[in-house]
Structure 1
Amino acid sequence: MKYGIAMFPSKRLQDEVNSYRKRYDPHYAYIPPHITLKEPFELEEAQIDATIEKIQSIASQVEPVKIVIDKVSSFHPVNNVIYLKVQENPNLTKLHDLLHGKDFKNRDHTYNFVPHITIAQGLADLEHSDILDLMKMIDFHYEETIDRFQLLYQLDNQVWAVHETFHLNKG
C-alpha cells in the first residue's frame, strides 16, 4: 500500500489555500493543504507496526514547528507548481531529516526539501505565468505552531486518508 507523511496547518490556513486550490490544483479533492514531510512510499501490511514505532520515536525527538509563510513562489522551470513558501525552520528540517534517516529503507526522495503548501499544479506554461503573477500580488502572511503530523495512506480512488497522528515532543 502507498503511504506518505505530512503536516497539516490550521483549518483557517487550509480554508484560505483551498479557495485557490479548487481552481488551480487538480489534486484538490484528494488531500487537504499540507506540508509534505515524506513523499509517497510503498509499505507492506506486515511493516506498518514497526514503521509506526519508528515514527513515534522520531516524533518524540522533535519539538513543535512554528511555520511562517510570507510569500508565493514556484518550482518553475522544473515543474509548474505554485506554492506558499514555508520559511526554513530547524525543527521542521530535523523532522524531515529523521524521516529520511537510516531507520527508513526508502530514504531517497525525488527533490530537495523545500517546505511549502501547494496552491496550483499541472498548469500550462502561460497559465502558470499568469496565475503566479496574480498570486504574487496577494499579501500572504501566516504564522502558527503545528504540534503534530500524520502518516497517510492512499485509497484506491487516489484520496489520502490519515492512518495515524503523531504528536511532537512538547519539551
Structure 2
Amino acid sequence: MSQLTYGIAAFPSKKIQDIANSYRMRYDPSYSKIPPHITLKESFTADQQTIDRLSKDLSKIAKETEPFDIEIKKVSSFSPITHTIYLKIEPNDTLSKLNEQMNAEGFPGEQAFKFVPHITISQDLSEDEHSDVYGTLKISSFDLKDTIDRFQLLYQLDDGSWTVYETYKLGE
C-alpha cells in the first residue's frame, strides 16, 4: 500500500495570510508550496487505511473543539536552531490542546520540536540575511486577531506543494 506525506494545519483569515505573504514572497522559498498556516501536527507518512481511521479521530476532535480566537502581537525567531522568522501566536490553550490530541497515541509520526504556535514568514535565509530581516521585523508590532473555526488534513504532492485532503469544522 502506498504511503503519502500528510500534515495537519489551520489556515488564518485572508487578512492575516496577506500580511504573512507580504513577507513570505521575499523571504520564504516555500512561499508557493503552501499558504500561510499554523501547523497543528508536523508532517508524517501514512497509508490510506491509517488516514481513514485518522479522519474519524479528527472529526471527533473537531466536534469537541469550539472555534477559538488567536492573537498576534510580534514576530519571533527559532534562531539559533533554524533561521526561521514567524508571526508569534500568543499562548493559546486550545491550540496547545489540539496539538497534544494530534500527537497522542494512535496518531502516526513523532513531534520533533516543542509546539510553538506560529505562522512562518521567513525561512532558509543565510545567517546575515536572517539577522537583518529579524532585526528589522522584531521592532514592528502587530495587532492581529482572528477566529479559527476549522483545521485541515493536508497531503503533499510530488512537486512538494501541499493540498487539502479534508476540512474539519470546529464545534459541529
The one-letter code matched in structure 1 to 2:21 is: N
Runs of 5+ in structure 2 lacking a partner? none
Structure 1 partner of 2:23? 20
2:82 corresponding residue in structure 1: 79
Q: Indicate conservation of the 8 Å contact 1:62/1:94, yes or no.
A: no
Equivalent residue number for residue 68 of structure 2:
65
1:93 is paired with a residue whose SS is helix
- Aligned equivalent of 2:48: 45
Larger displacement relative to structure 2 (79-88 or 136-145):
136-145
- RMSD (CA atoms): 1.1
Deviation at 1:138, TM superposition (A): 2.5
Task: Name the SS for the 2:83 alignment partner.
Answer: coil
Query: Matched residue of 1:128: which SS?
Result: helix
When normalised by structure 2's length, the TM-score is 0.95
Name the aligned partner's letter for residue 133 of structure 2. Answer: I
What amino acid is aligned across from residue 19 of structure 1 in structure 2? S
CA contact (8 A) 1:67 1:86 kept: yes
1:114 aligns with 2:108: no
Query: Which amino acid in the other structure matches residue 140 of structure 1?
Result: F
SS of the residue aligned with 2:72?
strand
How many residue pairs match? The answer is 169
**Which one of the candidate residues 93, 98, 106 is aligned to 1:95?**
98
The 3-state SS of whatever aligns with 1:22 is: helix
Corresponding residue for residue 138 of structure 1 = 140
Residue 86 of structure 1, CA deviation? 0.2
- Spell out structure 1 runs of 4+ moving beyond 3 A: none
Deviation at 1:105, TM superposition (A): 3.6
Identity over aligned pairs, percent: 50
